[in-house]
Structure 1
Amino acid sequence: MSSKTNVQHETTPIYTCDSKVHHTLKTVHDHLHQLCCGHTHRLVKVETMDGDVFEGHIVHCDKSILYIRLSNEGCNRAFFPGPVSPYYNNFVLPLVLFNLLAISLL
């Protein structure tokens, strides 16, 4: 008969979000989600906090992700190597809402 010991490991968080910051982030998240859902199928230009800029149509906004179908504008980006392709128009890019700096209607 084997004896099993119940080992419980305590975890020590290395980060805990402040309740005021959590409230602010939740408010921003809800606002962005509602805004993006209200502009589905609209042509937009999106700028991320890293300085990347994308143009396309909002396809869907689900929880914390914005999905845009990229237009042919700016398709010579470094992470889309190769020649411009007609298939590029069908590429849907998922973007994290909290990484967005600006969304403009075109």
Structure 2
Amino acid sequence: MYNQPVVNSNPSGEAVYQMDPAMVEKLHHMKQHIHGICKKHMHRPVRVQTTHGTTFEGYIIHIDDVHLYLNPLPGHVRGFFNPLAAAQQQYAYNNVILPLVLFNLLTIALL
């Protein structure tokens, strides 16, 4: 069943992987740096590119320890067409928020 507990296949408790402490410190410093930049540019239009090459444009509306929350610019949201709402497009509200993981951000540029 899907909701059954996972049986520990490593009963000795030996670590399979452990990050180098210097890398942990570097990642922590990088996260603090990105967090400071994002806080400084809250509610401003930005272009964000991820390490995977995806680009988003929008407003930084929130940031926490793990995510940057971006409200995309009008026309920059990809989604499915809703035929029921098509007649009322002038009343549509852009309420999409994209959570982007801080460690996947490559660039943040002001628009």
TM-score of Structure 1 vs Structure 2, range by shorter chain: 0.7 to 0.9
Q: Answer yes or no: is 1:36 the counterpart of 2:58.
A: no
TM-score, reference length from structure 1 = 0.79
State the identity %.
38
Deviation at 1:82, TM superposition (A): 2.7
Q: Which residue of 1 aligns with 2:6?
A: none
Q: Distance in 1 between matches of 2:29 and 2:21?
A: 12
1:92-103 residue pairs with structure 2 within 5 A? 92-103=97-108
Q: Distance in 1 between matches of 2:80 and 2:51?
A: 22
Deviation at 1:73, TM superposition (A): 4.0
Structure 1 counterpart of 2:40, which letter?
A: G
Residues 55 and 73 in structure 1, CA contact (< 8 A), matched pair in contact too: no
Deviation beyond 3 Å, 4+ runs, structure 1: 83-87
Alignment counterpart, residue 29 of structure 2, candidates 22, 27, 46: 27
Q: Distance in 1 between matches of 2:17 and 2:76?
A: 38
Deviation at 1:101, TM superposition (A): 0.6
TM-score, reference length from structure 2 = 0.76
Q: Answer yes or no: is 1:105 the counterpart of 2:110.
A: yes
Q: Which residue of 2 aligns with 1:82?
A: 81
Aligned length: 94
Deviation at 1:92, TM superposition (A): 0.7
Alignment counterpart, residue 18 of structure 1, candidates 20, 24, 45: 20
- RMSD between superposed Cα atoms in Å: 1.8
Q: Distance in 2 between matches of 1:100 and 1:49?
A: 6
Deviation at 1:10, TM superposition (A): 3.5
Deviation at 1:19, TM superposition (A): 1.1
> Deviation per CA, 1:82-105, whole angstroms, max 9, x where unpaired?
379643x22110000000011001
